[in-house]
Structure 1
């Protein structure tokens, strides 16, 4: 029984929420996959990327609807075994609405501001396999009479999800012929889930016993933050700036399957003391029933520029900076991280009045420290390459199709688990201007 308790403690300590290092999702519409350097552009996408720039649009009411589709392969390898998730995310919608009237605009955006979508790791997690070495090295079987090494026997498909749905809106105003400013508020509704089982053989006496660790947890939070923007525009050059304040998210947790684990301590000597140590761990209590704690979205700043080198060709560049180290965090989600950043470049080229080709590249440094990686919380640096096409179907309607491949830089944690990812993304969008 003693080894069973130690096993459960370490398994619980290894579990964290599914998401990236900073949780943020930069892709907020279909055009992003063609060229992610969006902050310096003027257009309907500015409802999210460059709100102050919307004041320079032609008068009218615009609506853009988008869908993203992601084909994802996530892998973790340890001791010759591979645990893989290839669950796609086929439908991720978003919408932007902008109304412009004589140098003043009102804008709205709805989408998924953060999170990692759905994952499903076949056969369990890499950490389940690591437990054999971790436990047997730390708690040598000869310390317990008649004990044998612990053996991982496999697991079910471990499922996780992380979605932060957002609604935001605000107003932008021209200050003069070159400058505009914007202010907006954003509402975030966050949900994080984790469900999985790992099976083990434990022998602390003459005969082995078989145990399953089972967790089914859901964490939810809501928050509001402010968004501030500036934009400079002349005939060929446009520069956009955006700052988002930190979003306070106080998560509350509901867990369904840990009662049997808790009840198993009723007749165990020192059971309540051991149980308190397990469930009181900072990495554990966020997933236990009625647990509460902060995991805020960090503040971020973005700057971008677009420059028309000819009537047909426009160059774009942008950068995002995430203040991760300053973010409020009750459970060590950002321990060991430095502030992350993204750098992007892009190009628009008009073939004619109907067709526009788009392309771009982005480098992402997540700010993560691989020494803190866990199976459900590993953020890898990445390179993104995108292409797209836009078609002006009519004076009021434009359509776009985009695609990108994201190549992540694999990394190995201190527990000797090698993490890797690859994602193919597609975007479809339509923009309509109402007369």
Structure 2
């Protein structure tokens, strides 16, 4: 238990709402009511379709957007068994069947974006500001199964020792206290310049500067064994009571409190190329965002978590992927009042370097398909509806675990635009994501037996060598327990299952002004 998995919750705190697992594409309220914006002609093209800005009317265009996003993440876990009883059932306050749900809540009550454009005869320019990654806070009030499974082994360890001595169990359960909170904001400022090659073709070139700022705070404290007499005792104290003082001292750091408070920051540059071709009722557009090389510098006030990823002064790779998008818009009626949109996104996530090359566990790159329709029901009112399917390239689920919680999804958005003045409009929208649940079955829950067994074996081997060298003294009881503990632990069932699920609701309102 040297490396207690606080990170299991920390990396879940990224609050992306749409797009790849590293990126946010919900960059306008117009997107919320029709996510297929890749070939749409509008002021939010400053992000979605920079080359399409050239087909706006001459002059200046401005859009101010506010979104509010609310998410829940749930992992329903079951783990191990002893005497046909789930090990999670031994936890104080846990369900008797040992099936436990770990809940996290993430919210971004104010998620702002801004678009600005200036269109001239041949040249056009645009700017976009938004939170292009992360974008919220997330808290897990009771930790996660990947950590609790390690605490759940305390009764197993104690009973193995007590049975070797007295032939009876000494532990009836366990208790602990855990909390994790995370915040991630990847703030992007983008500038684009474009040129009208002719009346049908526009090209654009842009650059986005991304500044990342994060904070991770969490702790795991008060790990106790609940004895058969109802007492809550820490492991070293209990081992001492069993006349194993040397062993108690040797394993004291395995169950000590773990704390983390780490800030990270860094920045990167994203080059962006765009093209838009418009002819008659058709408009076709594409955008290519190159990979953003991002390195985050740690500033840790405290890190006793055992997780070197959060060591003070360390630099962590956190690239944002190359993104290729394309879309088609078709205007169905002569008065241009009905428009159909389709689009596709390709996220080269497997080529975006992460800490210890975590990206290699992905089954493939992420991709999305999008579609939508807009209808000007009146000169002053437009209604729209759209859908999006997102596939994260999870493959067989090797990437999907407590540390990386994303599942494929369907999203539905709808809303309206109201022209309140000749040069001023308001957008309102709602965007709902329906995640596809995922069950991950593991013969050894999060490699617990391998990791915990290895750590205990390492500790016991070191104690044995120290005793052989005369540096420490082992009591006969300690010698007996140390000889039986590794073998006995290897016989326990550590199979487990995690069921992953999420919810996501986003509301938005924006103001568009032409001047």
* Cα distance in 1 for residues equivalent to 2:163 and 2:269: 53
Equivalent position to 1:404, from 408, 426, 431: 431
Q: How does 1:158-307 map to 2 (within 5 A)?
A: 158-199=180-221, 200-201=223-224, 202-204=234-236, 205-207=239-241, 211-258=256-303, 284-307=307-330
Map of 2:406 onto structure 1: 379
Question: Aligned partners of 2:68 and 2:102: how far apart in 1?
Answer: 23
Q: 2:367 matched to 1:333?
A: no
Whether the aligned pair in 1 keeps the contact of 2:347 and 2:365 (CA below 8 Å) is yes
Query: How many residue pairs are counted as aligned between the two chains?
Result: 406
Is 2:402 the counterpart of 1:368? no
Asked if 2 retains the 8 angstrom alpha-carbon contact of 1:8 and 1:213, the reply is no
336-345 or 320-329: bigger deviation: 320-329
- Gapped regions of structure 1 (runs ≥ 5): 1-6, 262-278
The separation in 2 between residues aligned to 1:140 and 1:335, in whole angstroms, is 40
CA-atom RMSD in angstroms: 2.6
Distance in 2 separating the partners of 1:430 and 1:142: 68
* Counterparts of residues 117-156 of structure 1 (less than 5 Å): 117-132=136-151, 141-142=160-161, 153-156=175-178
Cα deviation for residue 112 of structure 1 reads: 0.4
Q: Please tell me whether the aligned partners of residues 10 and 181 of structure 2 are also in contact (alpha carbons under 8 angstroms).
A: no
2:71 is the counterpart of 1:46: no
Q: How much does 1:409 deviate?
A: 1.2
Task: Give ranges in structure 2 of 5+ residues lacking alignment.
Answer: 79-98, 225-233, 242-247, 446-496
In 1, the alpha carbon distance for the partners of 2:321 and 2:171 equals 43
CA-to-aligned-CA distance 1:254-303 (integer Å, 9 cap, x gap):
222225x7xxxxxxxxxxxxxxxxx5xxxx32212111131100101000
Q: 1:58 maps to what in 2?
A: 57
The residue number in structure 1 matching 2:108 is 89
Provide the C-alpha distance between the structure 2 equivalents of 1:320 and 1:150, rounded to a whole number of angstroms: 53
Are the counterparts in 2 of residues 150 and 203 from structure 1 also a CA contact under 8 Å? no
Deviations 1:299-336 (A, max 9, x none): 01000111001132110000100111122234233231
Once the two structures are TM-superposed, the CA of residue 156 in structure 1 deviates from its matched residue by 4.1
SS of 1:9 mapped into structure 2: coil
User: What is the deviation of 1:198?
Assistant: 2.0
CA deviation vs aligned residue, 1:182-217 (integer Å, no higher than 9, x gap): 000110011232211223225252349774221112
Pair 37,120 (structure 1): closer, same or farther in 2 beyond 3 Å = same
CA contact (8 A) 1:124 1:196 kept: no
Larger Rg: 2
Distance 1:398 1:197, change over 3 A: same
Residue matched to 2:23: 24
1:354, 1:432 → 2: CA distance?
Answer: 14
Q: In structure 1, how many angstroms separate the alpha carbons of the residues matched to 2:301 and 2:171? A: 30
In the TM superposition, residue 83 of structure 1 has moved relative to its aligned partner by 1.9
Tell me, yes or no, if the aligned pair for 1:16 and 1:374 is still in contact at 8 Å. no
- SS of equivalent residue, structure 2 residue 2: helix
C-alpha contact 2:8 2:404 (8 A) present in aligned 1: no
Question: Post-superposition shift, 1:116?
Answer: 5.1
Residues 295 and 333, structure 1, Cα contact 8 Å, conserved in 2: no
Change (3 A) 1:152 1:217: farther
**Alignment CA distance shift 1:397-1:421 (3 Å):** same
Q: Is the 8 A contact 1:41 1:306 kept in 2?
A: yes
1:272 matched residue in structure 2: none
- Establish whether residue 419 from structure 1 lines up as the match of residue 500 from structure 2: yes
The 1:287/1:125 distance shift into structure 2, 3 A limit, reads same
Separation in 2, partners of 1:161, 1:382: 23
* Aligned: 1:347 with 2:373: yes
The whole-number CA distance in structure 2 between the counterparts of 1:387 and 1:14 is 34
Structure-2 separation of matches of 1:45 and 1:290: 38
User: C-alpha separation between the residues in 2 aligned to 1:122 and 1:398?
Assistant: 42
Note closer, same or farther for the CA distance 1:328–1:135 as it changes in structure 2 (3 Å cut): farther
Query: Matched residues in 1 for 2:154 and 2:394: separation?
Result: 26
- Deviation digits for residues 159-183 of structure 1 (CA, Å, limit 9, x no counterpart): 1121100101020111111111000
Do 2:291 and 2:323's aligned partners in 1 also have CA atoms closer than 8 Å? Answer: yes
Q: Is the 8 A contact 1:23 1:116 kept in 2?
A: no
Which one is further off, 163-172 or 329-338?
329-338
Does 2:319 align with 1:319? no
Runs (4+) of structure 1 exceeding 4 A deviation are: 12-16, 133-152, 207-210
Contact 1:129 1:152 in 2 (8 A): no
Counterpart CA distance in 1 for 2:208 and 2:433 is: 28
Distance 1:138 1:203 in 2: 9
More divergent stretch after superposition (167-176 vs 323-332): 323-332
- TM-score normalised by the chain length of structure 2: 0.74
Per residue, is there more helix in 1 or in 2? 2
Q: Hey, what does 2:384 align to over in structure 1?
A: 358
Cα pair distance change 1:59/1:135, threshold 3 Å: farther
Query: Does the residue aligned with 1:296 lie in a helix, a strand or coil?
Result: coil
